[in-house]
Chain A
Amino acid sequence: MICNLRKVGIVSSGLTKFAKTEVSVESLMISSIKPIFDNTKNLSQTDIDVVLTSTNANEKYLASIVSELAGISPKISHSVESLCNSGTNCIVSAFSYISSGLADVALVTGAEKSNSPGLVLNWDKSRGQYRHPIYWSSLFTSSHMRKHGTKMEDLAYVSAKNHRNALDNPYSYFDRSYSFEEVMRSKNLTDNVRLLDCSMPCDGAASILLASEDVIQKFTEDPVWITGIGQRTLSAGFARSKNLSSMYSTSLASQDAYRMSHSSPSTIDVAEVHDAFSICEIMALEDLKLVEPGKAAEFVKNLHDTNNKKINPRGGLLGTGHPLGATGIAQTIESYQQLQGTAGKRQVEKAKTALIHNMSAAATSSTVLILQS
């Protein structure tokens, strides 16, 4: 089905520090776009054909506002909203414009405020009074525990590992880490979800510049290519999931992404997975086939004990904070830096292939990207 597409590469990127601020969504976006103009050779506003914005904020005409603030007159500009995976979905849209030949250079920018309307999906009547995401994550946890014997300790290792990784990420929301013991002792929100098992909504922005293989050499000598894309939406309502101990949309999206990039789980050197809650990292590792079903808990404990940064070197959503519309783009930026060898203390050695997993609303939809250097 996928034929004669032009290759699309990542040229450069920018981030703001994740925090709680009084700054507007468009200002956050511009702050993360500035480093792209500061650091990309030969780039001027007239090179940019597409400006896409990723957010759940109720801002109208945002892509045009950001274009004006950045002095760009793009051919194509619009917003992409898809709750927590808005960011990667926005990258997929930009990829499509470029690979099809409609555009050569696209600027993708995502931002969110901590009080985002994207935190709760009011449409989903099946959730009843249990609208907050902690309830689906608690039911996922119950189900995974029942099927695979997962323990509260296993979840604590996910959070402790990701918080520790985030200490080496200068853009992270937290300026301290939380140990295994601190996660174990943190306040229970439900019987199996503690405060430190939850990612923190915060303000933040992330931007990335993409270009076609035909023009990319003008801007960079060492691009990273987007070689695999998989997306799947199964429903909007949580309660339609067949099986609560795995995330089927993730599994389907990853199969498409592996196929498109001619890669497989064994070729993935480093991965950003959507740990909105501790249980989500465990389930994602299994659904992405990075480990066998039921083996993720042991795998994560081993990563924690050996200080191995293969999974969520950025600190994940748990360690870094979760500004919804920026998250998928920030995950992609981390993977890009890993493949460029510029991730500093977070660097996974000799990383050649990276996977990004971003999902929404109890994994009713998922996006998987694969990058190669």
Chain B
Amino acid sequence: MSRFEEELKNNNFVCSECSKCQKIVWPPSEYCNKCFSGVTWRQVSRNAILLEYSYENGECFCLAELEGQIRLVGKILEPNKLEIGQKLVLEKCDYDGSEKFIFKTIE
């Protein structure tokens, strides 16, 4: 398992960030894709914005964005009155061979 996957398994969402220009490099990589400097791992804010969603067998899945840059497809627990652009929180992440991202609406 990679560092990213290990952290996910502990419900930590970390991403690589350039140590020189501070760009977030997502999906994670060894080098910055703007200036090719090295990266460090850092915690990402769990606050997300809803970009789009749909349903499969009554379960909601969505595309959400963290820190204005990191986009993830994940599940929304207890979705109601969803609106594009609304705030979500990354409630849980996990890894069991594939990445799992679970969001919740706020309020």
Q: Does B1 contact A (CB under 8 A)?
A: no
A351 CA to B99 CA, complexed, in Å: 48
B63 touches A138 (CB 8 A): no
Interfacial residues of chain B within 6-52, with CB under 8 A of chain A in the complex: 26-28, 51-52
Task: Give the interface size bracket for A toward B.
Answer: 20 to 34
Most buried by A among B4, B52, B61, B101: B52
Q: Does B100 contact A (CB under 8 A)?
A: yes
A142 touches B52 (CB 8 A): yes
Q: Does B86 contact A (CB under 8 A)?
A: no
Interfacial residues of chain B within 51-93, with CB under 8 A of chain A in the complex: 51-56, 61-63, 70-75, 84
Count how many chain B residues have C-beta atoms less than 8 Å from C-beta atoms of the other chain: 24
Query: Given known contacts A135-B61, A239-B71, A244-B63, is B101 in contact with A128 (CB within 8 Å)?
Result: yes
A57 CA to B16 CA, complexed, in Å: 32
Q: Does A102 contact B (CB under 8 A)?
A: no
A240 touches B71 (CB 8 A): yes
B52 touches A191 (CB 8 A): no
Most buried by A among B4, B74, B84, B99: B99
B51 touches A128 (CB 8 A): no
A126 touches B54 (CB 8 A): no
Q: Which residues of chain B have C-beta atoms less than 8 A from A125's C-beta?
A: 4, 27-28, 99
A141 CA to B26 CA, complexed, in Å: 25
A192: which of B54, B73, B74, B84 is its contact (CB, 8 Å)? B54
A191 touches B72 (CB 8 A): no
Closest to A245 in B: B52
A138 touches B100 (CB 8 A): no
Q: Which residues of chain A have C-beta atoms less than 8 A from B56's C-beta?
A: 135, 138, 189-191
Q: Does A301 contact B (CB under 8 A)?
A: no
A129 touches B100 (CB 8 A): yes
Q: Does A237 contact B (CB under 8 A)?
A: yes
A191 CA to B62 CA, complexed, in Å: 13
Q: Distance (Å) between the CB of A138 and the closest chain B CB? A: 4
Q: Which residues of chain A have C-beta atoms less than 8 A from B61's C-beta?
A: 130, 135, 138
Closest to B2 in A: A125
Contact flags A133-173 to B (C-beta < 8 A → 1, else 0) = 00110110111001000000000000000000000000000
B54 touches A244 (CB 8 A): no
Q: Which residues of chain A have C-beta atoms less than 8 A from B62's C-beta?
A: 139
Closest to B28 in A: A125
B73: which of A123, A126, A141, A143 is its contact (CB, 8 Å)? A126
Closest to B8 in A: A125
Most buried by B among A123, A130, A135, A191: A130
Q: Which residues of chain A have C-beta atoms less than 8 A from B4's C-beta?
A: 125
A128 touches B55 (CB 8 A): no
B52 touches A143 (CB 8 A): yes
Name B residues whose Cβ lies closer than 8 Å to a Cβ of A.
Answer: 4, 26-28, 51-56, 61-63, 70-75, 84, 98-101
Additional pairs, 7, CB under 8 Å, beyond known A125-B99, A128-B74, A130-B74:
A123-B27, A127-B99, A128-B98, A128-B100, A129-B74, A138-B61, A139-B63
